[in-house]
Structure formats: C-alpha cells, structure tokens
Amino acid sequence: MGLAKCGEVDESSRLFDRISLRNEVSWNSMLSGYDRNGKWSEALMDLFSKMHEKIRPSEFTLMSMLNACAKLGALEQWEWIHDYIYITKNNIELNVIVVAAIMDMYRKFRNIEMARQVFEAVQRKGLSRWNSMTLGR
C-alpha cells in the first residue's frame, strides 16, 4: 500500500485487491494513497463505500474522506460522514484535526452557523479550533 504514497496507485490497488484479510491499516493506507494522488472520487465513492461495510472507520479514515469531500465539493457524502460521526454516536474521537475539518467543511459550504455549533459543542477549544472559527467570519 506504500506504493500509493509514491504515486503508484494502480499497482497498489492491484496488490490490495489480492489481500484476503484487510484490516484498518491496509484500508487507511489505500485511502490515504488515493487522497494524496488526487483520486478523491475513487477514494470516496469506491473504496470508502466498500470499507465501511466491513470495518468501522476510524478518525483517520474519516479525515481522508472529509478531505476528499472538500476537494470534490461533495456535500451529500460529507453530510453522511458528519451524521456518522455525530448522530450515530460511533465513538469517533473528535480530535483537533477532525473538528477543524468539520468546521472547515461547514465554512466551505457557507454554513457559519453550523460551524459555530460544532465549535460550541467542543469542550476543549485549542488553537486550531479558534483559528477555524475565526477564519469563517
């Protein structure tokens, strides 16, 4: 899967397809490789849709997918990820990076009120969260 980081996404994908027991690390490696090589649609529509049927996405997985949604302007898919994180209470760790990405996405879609609600819901407001909020105003 490290091949994808070097731009060899197709070769990495062929190797990945031959793995019978895929784990969170192998899925995240592929998603990250797709993301790094600008294959956001493939990461989001193909790979992630297969992954979340078999393995529970982690905060690292969701970060790659939030990034793909931002690059594509894919609001519907982004809302699904947001709902997965918040509504279904899947015990996703809302670390600094995940919260900043959620706030950035709301800003991108010009929904400053929702960005503010996410900001207010977070107990510890680190520098990156303050920056994300102030950049949206």
pLDDT in tens, 39-89: 888 888 888 888 878 888 877 787 778 878 877 878 778 777 777 776 555
The pLDDT value recorded for residue 65 is 82
Give me the half-sphere count of Cα atoms (radius 13 Å) on the Cβ side of residue 80: 11
Q: Which domain holds residue 81?
A: 1-92
Query: For the chain, how many structural domains are there in total?
Result: 2
Q: Are residues 66 and 13 in the same domain?
A: yes
Mean pLDDT of 11-34: 86
Q: Are residues 75 and 98 in the same domain?
A: no
Spatial contact of 41 and 72, defined as CB atoms under 8 Å apart: yes
pLDDT in tens, 84-129: 776 555 666 667 777 777 777 777 777 778 777 777 777 666 655 5
Q: Are residues 5 and 37 in the same domain?
A: yes
